[in-house]
Amino acid sequence: MTSATGRHLVDHHCHGVVLRDLDRTEFERLLNESGGPSPLGTSLFDSMIGLAVRRWCAPVLDLDPLVTADDYLARRRDLGFTEVAGRFLRESGTECFLVDTGYSPDAISGSAELARLAGGRAHEIIRLEGLVEDLLVAGVGAHELPERVARALEETTAVGAKSIAAYRTGLELPTAEPDAGDVARALDECEPTSAGAYRVAHPVVTGWLAWAAINAGLPLQLHVGYGDKDANLREGDPLLLTRFLRATEEHGVPVLLLHNYPFHRNAGYLAQVFDHVFMDVGLATHNTGALSAAVIRESLELTPFAKLLYSSDAFGLPELYHLAALLFTRGLTTLLDTLVDRGEAAPADADRISALILRENAQRVYSKI
Amino acid sequence: MTSATGRHLVDHHCHGVVLRDLDRTEFERLLNESGGPSPLGTSLFDSMIGLAVRRWCAPVLDLDPLVTADDYLARRRDLGFTEVAGRFLRESGTECFLVDTGYSPDAISGSAELARLAGGRAHEIIRLEGLVEDLLVAGVGAHELPERVARALEETTAVGAKSIAAYRTGLELPTAEPDAGDVARALDECEPTSAGAYRVAHPVVTGWLAWAAINAGLPLQLHVGYGDKDANLREGDPLLLTRFLRATEEHGVPVLLLHNYPFHRNAGYLAQVFDHVFMDVGLATHNTGALSAAVIRESLELTPFAKLLYSSDAFGLPELYHLAALLFTRGLTTLLDTLVDRGEAAPADADRISALILRENAQRVYSKI
Amino acid sequence: MTSATGRHLVDHHCHGVVLRDLDRTEFERLLNESGGPSPLGTSLFDSMIGLAVRRWCAPVLDLDPLVTADDYLARRRDLGFTEVAGRFLRESGTECFLVDTGYSPDAISGSAELARLAGGRAHEIIRLEGLVEDLLVAGVGAHELPERVARALEETTAVGAKSIAAYRTGLELPTAEPDAGDVARALDECEPTSAGAYRVAHPVVTGWLAWAAINAGLPLQLHVGYGDKDANLREGDPLLLTRFLRATEEHGVPVLLLHNYPFHRNAGYLAQVFDHVFMDVGLATHNTGALSAAVIRESLELTPFAKLLYSSDAFGLPELYHLAALLFTRGLTTLLDTLVDRGEAAPADADRISALILRENAQRVYSKI
């Protein structure tokens, strides 16, 4: 029904690409959410995402599907990182990237560079914890900060804001805007490291920041579920957000639950019952490779079609933008084609649903893109 | 193996139908567990249940499958609510309805009316919180209430009792019958609203009511998992009931876990290890439409075939009784037929399992039907 | 790709077989995790595992597939328990059994007897709580115990250690080795029953034992998820181990999460992000019978292929070793064959992945086998 070529995806959550050549260890470190291959294990190519790279990325580098990992990586180095990045980003069919530029443990591209390499457009998503940490580093005082943050969110060119409360203080965000005095006191308690950096991890601060985005009318992205081991996955269940969602619904500002796996059914429930809740299965899609179809299917059980978005959550490896786009589009299209074949949806339904999920929902939610 | 026609289902948990014509907004409000279409979304026909209505309900109203939502709703109004309700209820193949009449935000049919429209039989399930609230409104004093409730449960014509503790105080019900004095004190604390109504939400009271049903030998239905956003789904995990189930097992009174999605595998585990536990996947079946097969499959992984029941949990729209019956019967039959085709079950097994789940388990559990 | 005959499995977690003839009630009691058929239900042959026994075990006893349960059990008695046990154990294709001998509510075979019946090899896994309980019964004092346990773990011929903290104190194990004084005090508090037995259920003791295995460099097996109703499944979520896993990762000692169902996706995440974490879906595989393919598929979504192991967790019935081996091998092989058919893995990949999961991962993890 929907064609695999000529995709015009909006990727509503991704990061930048690493712009240098990588040896095998460096490549494997960026492949999944572990810190690299285990001394007790084998190569991380021995995984669903490893198979997917060999199957679906090799042909983009003019290789046969399923070449060995070493042959794949040799070809990658021969072509050079710029050519490789450009090929995968263009191949992804992504027209518009919403880029979280707040996470850069490695030297990665900014959003403009990403857009240029892809031949597409990019917008920034402002990371809330990063915003306040930058202001603290700049020496802005605790009592001045709330107004400075509010103004920054009003004036930003970013099209949305992202909270990583899940990594800092958990998802049980407050059901009302924290009191200004409490915020000032919590900010006062933030101490810099010896290097002069800040790491905001106070529940009053993360709660206040989430509410600040709501008050500014900026779509609020929340890290939920699957990620690296710095977060405790148990505390990443989107149902922990229920009270916050109940409290914020009347504000009419979109709240976007990112990743969600393995709690994507829970996220689908929230997207059904709360007017302002949206979800995706980013990161999980490319990590589960050929098995991602089941994850996509489960995410559609309860979620209205207007509430599911596409995201890659790709970081670092340009392969991941391509894999996420290909696997999500393929999984969704296959599911919809099956419904059409069985007479459970009309061809026009499949086209419409596909367009909503791959592009139009994001265009409606992020009014500035 | 099992035939789709001539079904004789027992629907062990449902509500009444709305007996008036509905405009599009009213129809969508009753379609799923949200309060209606979101201003940030699209029509709720853009969902798995929306597709299922157009596919499977349209022909019952003499329309082609997959007509537009507007054409569907126009035909529905032309036929009138009585004709529409009768068609869907009869088409559901339900012989016997166990009706929870305690939830009526809208004017809905009683159980007798439902039975008449369906050409079947109906029995009532008494809602425990409603029973005590009605007695409070009637002015019965706190010290008199326990005996009045016990007598009502002994004398009731209802065939089972339902607790909505999940909506009021959570599923961690007490492991022993609360002390009579504590119950009286908790009831004393219940205050009427200005309109003179009561809303019982004291853990001692909900715990006492669950035990009162056990003591009366009435099969105890418990709301678990999926429902509207008045409950916190996180507090709806059936595993929260473990200690209560361990404490009540020796009483030999059936405890029926309703809905369960997305915790249906957890419920299946409880149905396997506790003698008196039964489960269903009502509400989730019709909401997940063409994707319900996976939910039904997962619910059968651990649950003994004697412990899974059919329920629709239909409320309001007569379409939902039909969809739940059709999708559950089809999902179960397809799964069993596949087992037979692969030589993993005999045809007689499939017939027997199907009869247990669609009808006989309920007839064994509810001795008064 | 992989052949069903000539399997050479390593079963990294199982128990002994019951060596006597069984009547129908006794057989059903050992079939799943309930205590036997419910007075409110039907025969436990009415379940996925019941169908699997009739389908896959009957031919091993020279019967037609899907004979009745009574015919099956009559033939079983005619052959006698020794012949029956030998047939199923040999048919399982298991070359090496790692046997937890610490659980014996019934008179069951030791590991040597199991190996002899199977025509294979067996190694013991030492149960940590049993070790300390035996020393307490032998009158070893609290202050002497830590050193005695450490020495026993250094000198043991067991190839790994198993903790049943999930049954005793929950999975939130301490993030550092408990203080020696605290351990001695906790041991002092352990009181024998009137029969002179001990049941260790102090969090300091279970935490200390888990750390003692890590310190001794013994692969640490942890009961997680699915089991009988003595444990509270809600407290069996492997994500409860996150902080313990973070604390123990640098020690480089393998930690093996057993069973995991219905939390196997959570376990897969842990196996991906922590270098030293491995997982299996034992017990769930044979209990879910023909539906086990989905459980196996889900366990492979995130788990690197070097981190998933085969186990049966069979106990008592020799049928369970056969069913677990057959269903797991078949489920894995079918999944891999499908990937090969769709061009998403090469035939050599399928062979390699299969060998890792069925045998080689265990051989790498358990250095003494």
> pTM above the 0.90 mark?
yes
CB C315 within 8 A of CB C307: no
Q: Is the pLDDT of residue C176 over 70?
A: yes
Chain C, nearest residue to B295 by Cα: C294
Could you give the percent of chain B with pLDDT greater than 70? 98
pLDDT range class, residue B102, cuts 50, 70, 90: confident
Angle at A250 between CA A248 and CA A252, to 5 degrees: 85
Give the burial class of B281: count Cβ atoms within 10 A of its Cβ; 0-12 exposed, 13-18 middle, 19 or more buried: buried
Q: Is the pLDDT of residue C104 over 80?
A: no
Q: Is the pLDDT of residue C3 over 50?
A: no
Question: Tell me, what's the pLDDT at C4?
Answer: 41
d(CA C19, CA C82): 7
pLDDT tens digits, one per residue of B217-241: 999 999 999 999 998 999 999 999 9
pLDDT tens digits, one per residue of C288-319: 999 999 999 999 999 999 999 999 999 999 99
**Are residues B269 and C291, on separate chains, in Cβ contact within 8 Å?**
no
What tokens were used for C162? 């198993």
CB under 8 Å to A309, separation ≥6 — which residues?
A10, A12, A256, A278, A279, A280, A357, A361, A362, A365
Interface of C with A in 257-296 (CB under 8 A): 265-266, 269-270, 272-276, 278
pLDDT tens digits, one per residue of B241-262: 999 999 999 999 999 999 999 9
CB A94 within 8 A of CB A321: yes
More confident residue, B191 or B5: B191
Strand residues in A109-254 grouped as ranges (E): 121-127, 160-163, 220-224
What tokens were used for B357? 């789940």
d(CA B208, CA B236): 19
Q: Which helix (H) or strand (E) holds B338?
A: helix B318-341
- Please, what is the average pLDDT of chain B? 95
pLDDT range class, residue C102, cuts 50, 70, 90: confident
pLDDT range class, residue B106, cuts 50, 70, 90: low
**Are residues C344 and A229, on separate chains, in Cβ contact within 8 Å?**
no
Of the candidates C266, C274, C278, the beta carbon closest to that of A229 is on: C274
Q: What is the least distance, in Å, from the CA of C340 to any CA of chain A?
A: 11
**Are residues B276 and C233, on separate chains, in Cβ contact within 8 Å?**
no
* Residue that is written with structure tokens 């789940």 in the block: B357
Chain A, nearest residue to B53 by Cα: A344
Chain B, nearest residue to A295 by Cα: B294
**Are residues B41 and A304, on separate chains, in Cβ contact within 8 Å?**
yes
B157–chain A Cβ distance below 8 A for any pair: no
Could you give the percent of chain B with pLDDT greater than 90? 92
Distance of CA A235 to CAs A166, A232, A238, B296, Å? Answer: 7, 6, 9, 28
Mean pLDDT, residues C180-194: 91
SS3 C316: strand
pLDDT tens digits, one per residue of B335-369: 999 999 999 999 999 999 999 999 999 999 999 89
C30–chain B Cβ distance below 8 A for any pair: no
Chain A positions touching B47 (Cβ under 8 A) are 272, 302-305
Q: Which chains would you list as touching C if contact means 3+ CB atom pairs under 8 Å?
A: A, B
Q: What is the least distance, in Å, from the CA of B232 to any CA of chain C?
A: 17
d(CA B163, CA B221): 6
C344–chain A Cβ distance below 8 A for any pair: yes
CB under 8 Å to B151, separation ≥6 — which residues?
none
Q: Residue A125's beta-bridge partner residues?
A: A100, A160
Chain B, nearest residue to A339 by Cα: B290
**Are residues B233 and A242, on separate chains, in Cβ contact within 8 Å?**
yes
Which segments of chain A have a pLDDT < 50? 1-5
pLDDT range class, residue B104, cuts 50, 70, 90: confident
Q: Is the pLDDT of residue B267 over 80?
A: yes
Torsion of CA C62, C63, C66, C70, to 10 degrees: -120
Interface of C with A in 304-343 (CB under 8 A): 304-307, 339, 342-343
Query: Which has the closest alpha carbon to A274: A329, A222, A328?
Result: A222
Q: Is the pLDDT of residue C158 over 80?
A: yes
CB B47 within 8 A of CB A304: yes
**Are residues A300 and B291, on separate chains, in Cβ contact within 8 Å?**
yes
